[in-house]
């Protein structure tokens, strides 16, 4: 992929942070409806489908009509999923992360304030930016809580920040953090969490009858063909964790959504698990930082039912959303990306976003071809 030409993240604004100013940290998450009702779920889905209208080369009124059509078709099934899991805990867990990060930063005597926002639920990115403006924030750090930089998550979230600020007269100094899956501290955190959880249950991922299985939220191939490297980040991260765990055998599968007639990353979880020789699965939802419908319904219910139906034992590693080490890791990211000087070392300018002032662990690295865009990983 050719790195985009540098463009100022916010053309009207000056890059760089003022040491004595108030730094606002905008944590951005996907969000889910807090009530499992059609009235809450349908608008939520419509916002998601509308954002991704380009997948079917639609825009304007056509994209809006198609988004409503897709939302109405998907709403009954998703409402049922939310009811089965007792409502989504995603928003509450994201808010708790923001509160814990605020406490951690204050303990370090940093003049900061943390705001929890959501792409497709409330409070929205625009609402939280208005709060930050009213609070007297002078410097803003946008931090999507997605380890892998994906088009519809990280890139779209930062684009929403840009659009919301451009619609106002507010001109804070802005920086952003995109993908951070390759940070050594984060790789270590996820590795040790998996190791400890498995050990407590007497599961050995090195056992020839146990398969370390990474379940990942899928992405449309169109985004990858346009240059996003989400699939290669996934491959790299799962490989690195497996190596640290000493697991010579591991597998990766995707949670793809069939709402549109488009091609997604492969293999689907069911396809990969269906050909696995091992009788026990240790399933790691590696792309998620909160428990939500994709973990509690799609994995714990649907995938478990499928795996047990083909004779597999199903063990699912929880998401470390409340891990104190993760909060410290986020605080370190804030310290590195929000410092007066430009970050150095592991962080470099992001190549997935066209805006300068965005930092990630991936921009200065070339990666091998993806094993997921064509065919099935074995």
Residues 6+ apart with CB under 8 A from 28: 117, 118, 119, 125, 142, 143, 144, 145, 157, 160, 161
Domains detected in the chain: 38-84 (no CATH), 184-316 (3.40.50.1400)
Residues 148-167 pLDDT 10s: 999 999 999 999 999 999 99
Which range among 110-114, 287-291, 322-326, 337-341 shows the weakest confidence by mean pLDDT? Answer: 337-341
Q: How many CA atoms lie within 13 A of 68 on its CB side?
A: 5
Residues 196-213 pLDDT 10s: 999 999 999 999 999 999
Give the predicted TM-score (pTM) of the model: 0.92
Give the pair of three-digit tokens for residue 328: 């410290």
Per-residue model confidence (pLDDT) at position 352 = 86
**Cα separation of 31 and 153, whole Å?**
11
**Cα separation of 178 and 148, whole Å?**
8
374 pLDDT band, cuts 50/70/90, is low
CA–centroid distance for 181 within its chain: 10
19 pLDDT band, cuts 50/70/90, is low
Residues 183-198 pLDDT 10s: 999 999 999 999 999 9
Q: Give CA separation, 210 vs 14, 281, 315, in Å.
A: 53, 6, 10
Residues 41-99 pLDDT 10s: 999 999 999 999 999 998 899 999 999 999 999 999 999 999 999 999 999 999 999 99
Q: Is it the case that residue 13 has pLDDT exceeding 50?
A: no
12 pLDDT band, cuts 50/70/90, is very low
Per-residue model confidence (pLDDT) at position 50 = 96
Mean pLDDT computed over every residue of the chain: 91
How buried is 54 (Cβ within 10 angstroms: 0-12 exposed, 13-18 middle, 19+ buried)?
middle
């Amino acid at each position: 992929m050719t790195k985009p030409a540098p463009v100022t993240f916010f053309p009207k604004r000056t890059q760089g942070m003022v040491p004595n100013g108030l730094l606002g940290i905008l944590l951005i998450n996907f969000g889910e409806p807090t009530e499992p009702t059609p009235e809450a779920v349908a608008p939520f889905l419509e916002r998601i489908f509308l954002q991704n209208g380009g997948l079917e080369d639609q825009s304007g009124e056509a994209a809006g009509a198609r988004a409503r059509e897709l939302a109405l078709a998907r709403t009954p099934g998703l409402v049922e999923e939310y009811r089965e899991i007792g409502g989504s805990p995603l928003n509450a867990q994201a808010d708790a992360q923001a509160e814990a990060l605020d406490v951690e930063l204050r303990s370090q005597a940093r003049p900061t304030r943390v705001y929890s926002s959501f792409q497709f639920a409330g409070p929205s990115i625009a609402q939280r930016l208005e709060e930050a403006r009213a609070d007297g924030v002078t410097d803003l750090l946008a931090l999507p809580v997605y380890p892998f930089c994906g088009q519809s998550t990280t890139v779209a979230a930062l684009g929403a920040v840009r659009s919301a600020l451009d619609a106002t007269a507010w001109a804070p100094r802005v920086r952003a953090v995109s993908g951070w899956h390759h940070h050594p501290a984060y790789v270590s955190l996820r590795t040790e969490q998996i190791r400890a959880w498995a050990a407590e249950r007497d599961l050995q991922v090195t056992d020839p009858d146990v398969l370390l299985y990474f379940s990942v939220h899928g992405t449309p191939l169109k985004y990858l063909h346009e240059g996003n490297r989400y699939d290669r980040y996934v491959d790299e991260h799962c490989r690195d964790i497996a190596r640290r765990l000493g697991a010579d055998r591991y597998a990766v599968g995707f949670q793809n959504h069939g709402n549109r007639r488009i091609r997604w990353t492969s293999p689907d979880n069911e396809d990969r698990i269906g050909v696995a020789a091992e009788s026990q699965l240790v399933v790691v939802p590696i792309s998620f930082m909160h428990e939500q419908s994709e973990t509690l319904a799609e994995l714990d219910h649907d995938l478990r039912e499928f795996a047990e139906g083909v004779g597999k034992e199903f063990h699912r590693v929880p998401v470390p959303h409340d891990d104190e080490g993760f909060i410290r890791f986020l605080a370190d990211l804030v310290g590195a990306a929000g410092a007066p000087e430009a970050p150095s070392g592991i962080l470099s300018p992001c190549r997935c976003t066209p805006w300068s002032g965005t930092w990630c662990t991936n921009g200065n690295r070339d990666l091998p071809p993806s094993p997921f865009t064509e065919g099935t990983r074995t």
